[in-house]
């Protein structure tokens, strides 16, 4: 609280009339109707304490403008600043930059507007697709106020707060509308107050939310961030997106108070469990006196929330679910531990008393710990019913016996191409996030490994590490592919005989192809991470193994259907479309030899993951012609 009192005092000082300070008008710098960049930037660079962006009788057409420290910039009534058509070709070109700035006030008067040309940027014949052409890009800045303006039509976010982190920022009375990716993206910020803002009408590319809290790296932060008295509506996807699936170094602390959320593609989405293989993310998220309604998807979604991590606390919130066919709450996880750390306070849901309240898909090993607070369902006739939260938890105890699920170690040195394997390059598998491609090669052999982009939001760049059969890093390189359908051919020149591993990580959907036999994907650690891949995957089942266990995970709302076939082609386990975590567990009798089983994935929506449970060898093949076996 003391920090915000200090921020308020500083804001009052910085926004008071500065009658004694030097003031300049942009019109004094002779702005050109066709390109006013030089005039506007010269006024800002002049060193004046106050820059008045006055009305020249036409809209200011500009390229990127950089704000400076220790300055107040006032956009006067009827002023419209617009990105120059045809410019901003760079993928990260923003209209205004607030980079490494301190003590800055940017404010508007009347109907002042800062706008870009979203439809142009979405036209792939005119611009390379991208999601970073922001109206305001803020990095590494302190004591910044932006208020009383309309920010519209960017090719990215209305306001982007990125790394290095920003501190002591006030965004007030802004209309942030019709942006391509987000109204506001909070990547790294401390002491951020967003007050009396409208975050509306985002559409274009995911997440397509009103506001998104999404630190990208463990050293980034979202500390003492407050949304107060804001309206969030008309956004293509979630109104509020908490997307922090990483365990940050610092606990998060976010408050939403007296906000109104309605008519978005989704409501409030929590994905704050932290890394799959690390301790849970810590911190708190509080929603106080907020009203939530959405006509299409769940009002409140918890994805991979887990006990011992972030505490999500509601206080006196109301969900109006009367016009939504879906249940108001969705709970899902891909972690092995229980879902916990949720308190509904005194929550009221408006809907018929006999309707479903919680949608809970396959939780795998995880159970649901009792949810705190109380939940009252209120029908149109005024009748009320208290929902039994304790009974809900009792119906979802989880599978404690699966919490030790793990992948077996794999002895790569013992792998050889199966007899008769001829190799098949083409396959339908798209890898997203981390992939580990294993390829057998003999010393002196060169195999062309092809990376092909099957899906992306723009040009693709990702690192590749090549490990030789002895496990040593042989080479590091960077792959760059400009568009969907583009390819990069990597010559794998083997200096040793054995299995080489190519490790890469990308947010795009990447197909990896090799014409040579003896290749597959490792499913160790976090598993085989795939994207929109209707496919058949093959794996070895040791002769003496009595239980086959396969873990299949589909992200929230991104369902998949599975069938597990034995070597004879008999379906041994199956599950129609689901999302969440599902274990396919099959008992078998020992066989005379190692068998080749098949996992069929179909009706795939988007992100899904596969892990083979120990003692299965954790490697899968896109075709029997590519099979590796243990000698």
pTM: predicted TM-score of the whole model, two decimal places: 0.84
Q: What are the tokens at 2?
A: 């003391």
- Residue 10 is predicted with a pLDDT of 40
Determine how many CB atoms are found less than 10 A away from the CB of residue 426: 11
Question: Closest Cα to residue 180, out of 266, 244, 261, 117?
Answer: 117
- The answer to whether the beta carbons of residues 438 and 498 sit under 8 Å apart is no
* Span 373-424, pLDDT tens digits: 999 999 999 999 999 999 999 999 999 888 889 999 999 999 999 999 999 9
**Residue 49: CA atoms inside 13 Å, Cβ hemisphere, count?**
9
SS3 at position 490? strand
Peptide bond into 615 cis (omega under 30): yes
- Residue 55 is predicted with a pLDDT of 97
pLDDT < 50: residue spans in the chain: 1-21
Q: What are the tokens at 339?
A: 């879902």
Question: For 239-330, where are the alpha helices, taking DSSP H only?
Answer: none
Question: Closest Cα to residue 151, out of 225, 81, 56, 61?
Answer: 81
CA–CA distance, 575 with 84 (Å, rounded to integer): 53
- Residue 631 is predicted with a pLDDT of 85
Question: Closest Cα to residue 552, out of 563, 568, 567, 540?
Answer: 563
446-455 and 283-288 beta bridge pairing: unpaired
Q: What angle do CA 593, 596, 598 make, to 5 degrees?
A: 155
- Residue 621 is predicted with a pLDDT of 98
Give whole-number Cα distances, 30 to 37, 52, 72, 238, 274, in Å: 11, 13, 20, 44, 53
Question: Closest Cα to residue 620, out of 597, 604, 588, 602?
Answer: 597
CA–CA distance, 460 with 227 (Å, rounded to integer): 34
415-417 and 628-630 beta bridge pairing: antiparallel
- The answer to whether the beta carbons of residues 430 and 532 sit under 8 Å apart is yes
The DSSP-derived string for 371-422 is PEEEEEEE-TTS-EEE--HHHHHHT----GGGTT--PPP--GGGEEEPTT--
CA–CA distance, 631 with 622 (Å, rounded to integer): 21
Percent of the chain that is helix, strand, coil (3-state, to 5): 5, 45, 45
Q: What angle do CA 81, 23, 77 make, to 5 degrees?
A: 35
- Residue 277 is predicted with a pLDDT of 73
Domains of the chain: 66-80+96-394 (2.160.20.10), 412-630 (no CATH)
């Amino acid at each position: 609280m003391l920090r915000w009192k200090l921020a308020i005092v500083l804001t009052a000082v910085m926004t008071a009339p500065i009658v004694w300070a030097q003031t300049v008008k942009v019109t004094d710098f002779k702005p050109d109707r066709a390109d006013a960049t030089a005039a506007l930037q010269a006024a800002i660079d002049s060193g004046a304490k106050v820059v008045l962006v006055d009305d020249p009788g036409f809209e200011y057409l500009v390229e990127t403008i950089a704000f400076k420290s220790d300055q107040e910039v006032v956009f006067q009534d009827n002023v419209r600043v617009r990105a120059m058509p045809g410019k901003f070709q760079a993928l990260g070109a923003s209209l205004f930059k607030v980079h490494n700035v301190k003590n800055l006030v940017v404010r508007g008067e009347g109907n002042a507007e800062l706008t870009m040309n979203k439809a142009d940027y979405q036209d792939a014949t005119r611009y390379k697709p991208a999601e970073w052409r922001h109206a305001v890009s803020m990095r590494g800045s302190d004591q910044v106020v932006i208020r009383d303006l309309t920010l519209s039509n960017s090719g990215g976010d209305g306001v982007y707060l990125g790394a290095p982190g920003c501190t002591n920022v006030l965004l007030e009375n802004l209309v942030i509308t019709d942006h391509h990716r987000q109204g506001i993206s909070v990547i790294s910020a401390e002491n951020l107050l967003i007050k009396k803002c409208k975050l509306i009408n985002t559409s274009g590319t995911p997440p397509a939310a009103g506001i998104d809290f999404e630190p990208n790296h463990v050293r980034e932060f979202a500390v003492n961030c407050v949304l107060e008295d804001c309206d969030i509506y008309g956004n293509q996807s979630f109104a509020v997106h908490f997307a922090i699936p990483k365990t940050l170094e610092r606990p998060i602390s976010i408050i939403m108070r007296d906000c109104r959320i309605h008519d978005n593609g989704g409501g409030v989405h929590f994905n704050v469990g932290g890394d799959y293989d690390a301790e849970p993310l810590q911190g708190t998220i509080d929603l106080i006196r907020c009203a939530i309604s959405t006509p299409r998807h769940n009002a409140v979604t918890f994805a991979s929330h887990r006990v011992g991590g972030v505490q999500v606390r509601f206080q006196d919130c109301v969900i109006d679910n009367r016009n939504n066919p879906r249940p108001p709450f969705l709970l899902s996880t891909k972690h092995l531990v229980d879902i916990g750390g949720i308190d509904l306070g005194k929550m009221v849901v408006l809907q018929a008393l006999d309707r479903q309240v919680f949608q809970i898909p396959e939780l795998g090993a995880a159970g649901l710990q009792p949810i705190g607070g109380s939940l009252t369902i209120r029908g149109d006739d005024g009748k009320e019913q208290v929902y039994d939260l304790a009974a809900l938890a009792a119906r979802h105890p989880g599978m404690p016996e699966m919490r030790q699920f793990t992948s077996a170690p794999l002895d790569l040195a013992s792998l050889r191409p199966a007899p008769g394997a001829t190799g098949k390059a083409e396959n339908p598998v798209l890898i997203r996030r981390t992939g580990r491609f294993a390829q057998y090669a003999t010393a002196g052999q060169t195999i062309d490994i092809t990376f092909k982009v099957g899906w992306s939001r723009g040009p693709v760049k990702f690192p590749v590490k090549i490990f030789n059969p002895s496990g040593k890093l042989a080479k590091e390189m960077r792959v760059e592919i400009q568009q969907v359908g583009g390819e990069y051919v990597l010559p794998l020149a083997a200096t040793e005989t054995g299995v080489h591993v190519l490790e890469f990580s990308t947010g795009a959907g990447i197909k990896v192809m090799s014409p040579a036999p003896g290749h597959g994907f490792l499913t160790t650690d976090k598993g085989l991470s795939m994207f929109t891949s209707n496919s058949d995957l093959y794996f070895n089942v040791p002769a003496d193994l009595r239980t086959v266990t396969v873990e299949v995970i589909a992200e929230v709302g991104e369902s998949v259907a599975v069938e597990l076939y034995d070597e004879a082609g008999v379906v041994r386990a199956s599950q129609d479309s689901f999302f969440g975590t599902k274990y396919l567990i099959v008992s078998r009798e020992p066989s005379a030899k190692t068998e080749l089983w098949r996992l069929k994935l179909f009706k795939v929506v988007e992100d899904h993951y596969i892990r083979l449970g120990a003692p299965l060898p954790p490697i899968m093949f896109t075709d029997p012609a590519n099979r590796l076996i243990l000698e």
